[in-house]
């Protein structure tokens, strides 16, 4: 998604239909971010298994970007692991 608003609901529906899974990744809190908006579309229009890679419910800290990405689990490995978990645990 290049924007959270307006949200490209058609792209979400298509992706959910084609893959059966959705993973969102964002440098934002898991609550109220892109993942929440995508989850609403998925639930209402095209149910699919889903994971959000985002900052969990905790206070954010300051630091160098690469350190913060590691601290909050926002690395490419974290995203890839979320995808693998969904793909390994279902009939996709």
Domain of 51, in residue numbers: 9-88
Q: What is the CATH number of the domain that holds 18?
A: 3.40.50.920
pLDDT at 91: 54
Residue 62 lies in a domain: yes
Q: Which long-range contacts (CB under 8 A, 24 or more apart) does 33-39 make?
A: 33/4, 34/1, 34/4, 37/4, 37/7, 38/1, 38/7, 38/12
Per the domain annotation, does 30 fall within a domain?
yes
Residue 92 has pLDDT above 60, yes or no: no
Distance between start and end Cα atoms, the chain = 22
Structure tokens at 12: 């979400």
Does a structural domain hold residue 33?
A: yes
The pLDDT tens digits for 26-63 are 998 888 899 999 999 999 999 999 999 999 888 878 89
What is the reported pTM? 0.83
Average pLDDT over residues 56-85: 91
Contact 37/4 with Cβ under 8 angstroms? Answer: yes
- Domain assignment of residue 2, yes or no: no
How much is the pLDDT for 3?
A: 84
Which residue has better confidence, 1 or 82? 82
Q: Number of folded domains in the chain?
A: 1
Cβ-contact 26, 56 below 8 angstroms: no
């Amino acid at each position: 998604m290049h924007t959270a608003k307006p949200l490209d609901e058609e792209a979400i529906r298509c992706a959910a239909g084609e893959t059966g899974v959705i993973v969102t990744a964002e440098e934002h809190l898991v609550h109220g971010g892109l993942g929440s908006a995508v989850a609403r579309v998925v639930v209402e229009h095209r149910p699919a298994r889903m994971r959000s890679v985002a900052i969990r419910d905790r206070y954010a800290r300051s630091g160098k970007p690469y350190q913060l990405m590691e601290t909050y689990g926002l690395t490419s490995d974290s995203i890839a692991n979320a995808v693998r978990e969904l793909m390994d645990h279902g009939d996709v």
